[in-house]
């Protein structure tokens, strides 16, 4: 039985390089038989956070928020694909994430980072770890980091060069870690209702 995994991506730039990594992650998880969907913050186009989903009267949230809340609640796990902006996290992805809280609870998340340079978004990944933990997700220890992304993945998200080869080697452990926690969390939720 496949697991429902959301791959969340948040760049709003016109020349989006990180979408390559999102496509790579989606394709490789699908090869493992998982049910994977891309959640693209730019395509959804939420406004800057004013009211969280839960702050809207029941049944009166904007349609995009209602749909996304359902997608998040129905997911078994998440992969956050994040670029690094000035040592920090992407505002588009953070804005999308902050519209929700309880919807994220009790599921694992993994972080895949990238940058145009050699640090591969590692500082953004570190920042995301604490943020996602605070939002009720179990963040798995395995991460993948790609940089420079333009030399590591083709426009179609296929590995190229040395960086792409390193990504191919790193992905199985990343996926195994995420999917182990997905299975553990599903089993626990089926056995015992979360405490809150």
Summarised one tens digit per residue, pLDDT across range 131-162 is 999 999 999 999 999 999 999 999 999 999 99
Domain positions in the chain:
4-191
Euclidean distance between CA atoms 143 and 122, whole angstroms: 9
Kindly report the pTM of this predicted structure: 0.96
Summarised one tens digit per residue, pLDDT across range 35-86 is 999 999 999 999 999 999 999 999 999 999 999 999 999 999 999 999 998 8
pLDDT at 179 > cutoff 90: yes
Multiple choice CATH, 4-191, 3.40.50.360, 3.20.20.70, 2.40.180.10, 1.10.1660.10? 3.40.50.360
Q: Report residue 144: phi and psi, to 5°.
A: -125, 145
């Amino acid at each position: 039985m496949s697991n429902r995994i959301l791959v969340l991506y948040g760049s709003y730039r016109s020349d989006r390089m990180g979408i390559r990594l999102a496509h790579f992650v989606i394709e490789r998880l699908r090869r493992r038989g998982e049910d994977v969907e891309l959640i693209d913050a730019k395509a959804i186009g939420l406004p800057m956070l004013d009211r969280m989903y839960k702050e809207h009267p029941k049944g009166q949230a904007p349609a995009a928020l209602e749909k996304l809340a359902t997608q998040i609640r129905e997911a078994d796990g998440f992969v956050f694909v994040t670029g690094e902006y000035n040592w920090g996290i992407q505002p588009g992805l953070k804005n999308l994430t902050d519209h929700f809280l309880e919807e994220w609870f009790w599921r694992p998340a993994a972080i895949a980072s990238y940058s145009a340079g050699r640090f591969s978004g590692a500082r953004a990944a570190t920042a995301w770890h604490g943020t996602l933990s605070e939002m009720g997700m179990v963040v798995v220890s395995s991460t993948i980091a790609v940089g420079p992304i333009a030399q590591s993945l083709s426009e179609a998200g296929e590995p190229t060069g040395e960086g792409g080869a390193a990504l191919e080697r790193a992905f199985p452990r990343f996926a195994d870690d995420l999917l182990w926690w997905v299975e553990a969390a599903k089993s626990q939720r089926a056995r015992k209702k979360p405490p809150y």
